[in-house]
Amino acid sequence: MANFIDLFGIDSSEVKETCVLSPFLYKGLTHDFGLNNLSKGARYAAASTDDLTLIHTQIGALQVGDCVLHLKETNCKNVILFGACGAVNNHYKVGTIVTPKKAYNYESFSSLINDEYITPDYYEADSGLLSQCYGEHASCASLGSVNLEKDYILRLKQNDIGVIDMETCSLYAACQKSFLHGLAILYVTDHIEKSDVFDKKSAEDYCHISEAQKKCIELIKDLNK
């Protein structure tokens, strides 16, 4: 197995009790956490402040899930996923902050394309972290395809699922396996019935998203006090 420092760019001894996992990096993210840059490893990029460790995982369930499994070998106790999500219905506006109380497993592309999902499994957020977190405590579905999202809208609504992403279910599952406390803090970037995640955003939507990103970071810092 590769050494931790080779994978993450930092030594395992540098990892703090709270780790923030970000599937992608928006401009200014490291600065918002008080960091100049991240040290790049073969698979992840990471850096630590006095209070937490920020890890760029890249997008996808595999990346986030494997990251958590590596963190069980460190001093990490709390793992917070900081990312984006799509709204299933109009109740959630662009910029809404959502902390999923549970996340359903729709992660298999093959099962999605063959319509094999009937009653998917779900994993839950850490109850202690969730109780400290404001925002919408919705149910989430983690899907293994962007193209197939719209095919599942009706089924998602029938299961009272509010938002979708790609990573939350793997986070909760891996944290449960590793005996770590896990919570996802997400912000809505689009509505899957109206638009595609890669569609160009309006100036108003960009403003709402930017404000939500700042609020999410404030929330993460509050959780870590």
For the chain, list the domains and their CATH numbers: 4-223 (3.40.50.1580)
Place of tokens 């509050």: 222
- Report residue 117's pLDDT band, with 50, 70 and 90 as the boundaries: confident
**Predicted pLDDT at 194:** 77
**Predicted pLDDT at 120:** 86
Cα 214 to Cα 166: distance, rounded to the nearest angstrom? 21
Residue 132 vs residue 169, higher pLDDT = 169
Q: Read off the pTM.
A: 0.94
**Predicted pLDDT at 71:** 96
Please state the rounded mean pLDDT for residues 53-78: 96
With b meaning 16 or more CB within 10 Å and e meaning fewer, what string describes 34-49?
A: ebeebeebebbbbbbe
Q: What is the pLDDT of residues 1-31, one digit of tens each?
A: 579 999 999 999 999 999 999 999 888 899 9
DSSP state letter for 101: S
Single out the residue of 36, 50, 34 nearest to residue 225, CA to CA: 50
pLDDT at residue 185 is higher than 80: yes
Element (H, E) at 47: strand 45-48
Alpha-helix residue ranges (DSSP H) falling in 23-178: 29-32, 61-71, 109-113, 127-131, 153-158, 168-178
**Predicted pLDDT at 27:** 86
**Predicted pLDDT at 133:** 85
Strand partners, 83: 186
pLDDT at residue 199 is higher than 90: no
